[in-house]
Amino acid sequence: MAPDEVPPTSSTEELERKIKEFIVIAEKFPDYKQKIFEVLLTNYLRGISQASEATETVVAPAPPITQKFVIPINVRAVLQQYSVPEDTIQKLFLVEGSEIQPKFSIKTTTKSDAQMQVALLTALENALKPGGKFEFSMEVVRTKCKDDYQVYDQPNFKAHFNHNVKLFKSLEDEEHVELSTDGKAELAETILAVAG
């Protein structure tokens, strides 16, 4: 386009400008001017047609594929053993792919019971993770009791665990406190109480 040429304002004006351009080119070859004009115009129109088709057939991006959460077999076994419906897990946790976020609230006002519920449900949360076990860290439970559920009983925190020692295999390794058989039975009752 020459510097003094005004850009076309519509597709019709653009077409007229192109036709004039093709006539000038075709005139340079008098023996073939009709054929050259037809080829130039046909190719130009084909290009416009393909460009408009491309813009019309914009494909919407596919929604992200989310994996359906599958409850690990060790958790399913405990749920079945104590007759806890599997769909109760969705009432307690928001699960997306491999991410798990608690959404339950602790209803009991007795701090010792509340702390045990937080500990048991934290063990369940850890068991739901890939390769997870029914265990928890005392510090994580302490933080949750303080920050998330406001049920922290600072002077008696450890005493509550010692009074409920039968729920745990051992309290020696505070980073990996694993539930005993009694602890899993108590967990089943806690799940039903908190989810109910």
**CATH classification of 73-195, choosing from 1.10.357, 3.30.750, 1.10.10, 3.30.70?**
1.10.10
pTM equals 0.66
Q: What is the pLDDT of residues 134-152, one digit of tens each?
A: 999 999 999 999 999 999 9
What is the rounded average pLDDT of the residues 154-183?
96
175 alpha carbon, distance to own chain's centre = 28
CA–CA separation, 45 vs 25, rounded Å?
A: 17
**Alpha helices, H only, 28-165:** 33-56, 73-81, 88-92, 111-128, 138-143, 157-163
Q: What is the DSSP letter of 102?
A: E
Q: What is the pLDDT of residues 74-129, one digit of tens each?
A: 999 999 999 999 999 999 999 887 789 999 999 998 999 999 999 999 999 999 99
Where in the chain are the domains?
A: 11-56, 73-195
* Contact in structure between 107 and 154 (CB atoms under 8 Å): no
